[in-house]
């Protein structure tokens, strides 16, 4: 979205709605903080929120050094990695993220051996729609279509493919800014998130996973089972949007999570439609 629409404010509020940490998560995150020399006190009390600058190097993101230490992606383990001005990060940093986003870990090879750091984080990335920030508002934006495409192409297809939700943010008008709001508080949203997490905990108690996002292969079919109407819809979407298999599976897993948040036992038509709306923009090569 354009500058000033609240992208950073929303990103920073993300950690207030994340599910409560289990004791095992507190221990795991504390170990990482300790290795990095950042642990204050005993166990951590809240999930990490990392916000590296767009000039950050590949080594700072992935970790490394003579005595390898965790980088930003590992420091964000169990929490949020927020990358503002996403298109301004180097191509090297972008490509270095591909494997961690898939495998949830970073492997670093040195003469003394191979080191593996955990990197299971929520990636939040924000960017403007073009270099000046105001496309498609032609009263403010003078970028050509070629300029816009060149700007968006800084993010490769494989990276876009690994992003589950893409939302365009519009400018906030005066009426929305001043009107009385009855929207949910972070505390209320977090309660719904915790309920959805508990649903998933019970669903996967006999599996080696905890969340819908970790579903793979046959388990996607097993736990994202669809009715006839829903199957027809996802089939049309797959063909019309020319999806990759990864994008198709991400839509199913997102729909499963939306259903859990709405307390739907089965994935409904509306859950798939909502999940697709979050993926459509990335298929059109924008965020």
Contacts of 169 (CB under 8 A, 6+ apart): 1, 2, 5, 6, 7
For residue range 212-235, list pLDDT tens digits in order. Answer: 999 999 999 999 999 999 999 999
pLDDT at 222: 94
Pick the CATH number of 7-163 from 3.40.50.300, 3.55.50.30, 1.10.287.130, 3.40.640.10: 3.40.50.300
Q: Report the chain's mean pLDDT, rounded to a whole number.
A: 88
For residue range 253-265, list pLDDT tens digits in order. Answer: 999 999 999 999 9
For residue range 186-218, list pLDDT tens digits in order. Answer: 999 999 999 999 999 999 999 989 999 999 999
How far is residue 228's CA from residue 230's CA, in Å, rounded to a whole number? 5
pLDDT at 286: 39
Q: Where in the chain is the domain with CATH 3.40.50.300?
A: 7-163
* pLDDT band per the 50, 70, 90 thresholds, residue 282: low
Section 110-139 average pLDDT:
87
pLDDT at 19: 92
**pTM: predicted TM-score of the whole model, two decimal places:** 0.86
Torsion (CA) 56, 8, 198, 102 in degrees, nearest 10:
-30
pLDDT at 23: 93
For residue range 62-88, list pLDDT tens digits in order. Answer: 998 777 889 999 999 999 999 999 999
pLDDT at 6: 76
Would you state the structure tokens that stand for residue 274, as one six-digit string? 């909502």
Poorest-pLDDT segment among 40-44, 71-75, 237-241: 40-44
Pairing label, strands 122-125, 49-50: unpaired
Which among 24-38, 133-147, 154-168, 269-283 has the top mean pLDDT?
Answer: 24-38
SS3 label, residue 110: strand
């Amino acid at each position: 979205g354009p500058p000033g629409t609240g992208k950073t404010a929303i990103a920073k509020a993300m950690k207030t709605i994340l599910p409560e940490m289990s004791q095992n998560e507190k221990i795991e995150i504390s170990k990482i903080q300790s290795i990095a020399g950042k642990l204050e006190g005993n166990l951590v009390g809240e999930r990490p929120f990392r916000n590296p600058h767009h000039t950050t190097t590949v080594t700072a993101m992935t970790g490394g050094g003579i005595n390898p230490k965790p980088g930003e992606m590992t420091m964000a383990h169990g929490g949020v990695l927020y990358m503002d001005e996403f298109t301004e990060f180097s191509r090297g940093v972008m490509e270095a993220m591909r494997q961690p986003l898939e495998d949830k870990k970073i492997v670093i090879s040195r003469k003394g051996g191979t080191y593996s750091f955990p990197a299971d984080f929520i990636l939040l990335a924000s960017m403007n729609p073009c270099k000046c920030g105001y496309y498609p508002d032609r009263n403010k934006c003078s970028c050509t279509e070629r300029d816009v495409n060149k700007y968006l192409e800084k993010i490769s297809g494989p990276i876009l493919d690994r992003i589950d939700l893409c939302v365009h943010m519009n400018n906030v008008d005066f009426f929305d800014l001043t009107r009385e709001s009855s929207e949910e508080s972070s505390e209320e949203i977090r309660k719904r998130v915790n309920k959805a997490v508990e649903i998933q905990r019970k669903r996967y108690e006999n599996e080696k996973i905890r969340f819908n996002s970790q579903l793979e292969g046959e388990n996607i079919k097993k736990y994202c089972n669809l009715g006839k109407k829903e199957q027809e819809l996802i089939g049309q979407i797959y063909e019309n949007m020319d999806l990759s298999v990864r994008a198709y599976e991400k839509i199913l897993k997102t729909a499963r999570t939306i259903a859990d948040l709405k307390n739907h036992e089965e994935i409904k038509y509306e859950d798939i439609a909502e999940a697709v709306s979050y993926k459509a923009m990335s298929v059109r090569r924008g965020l």
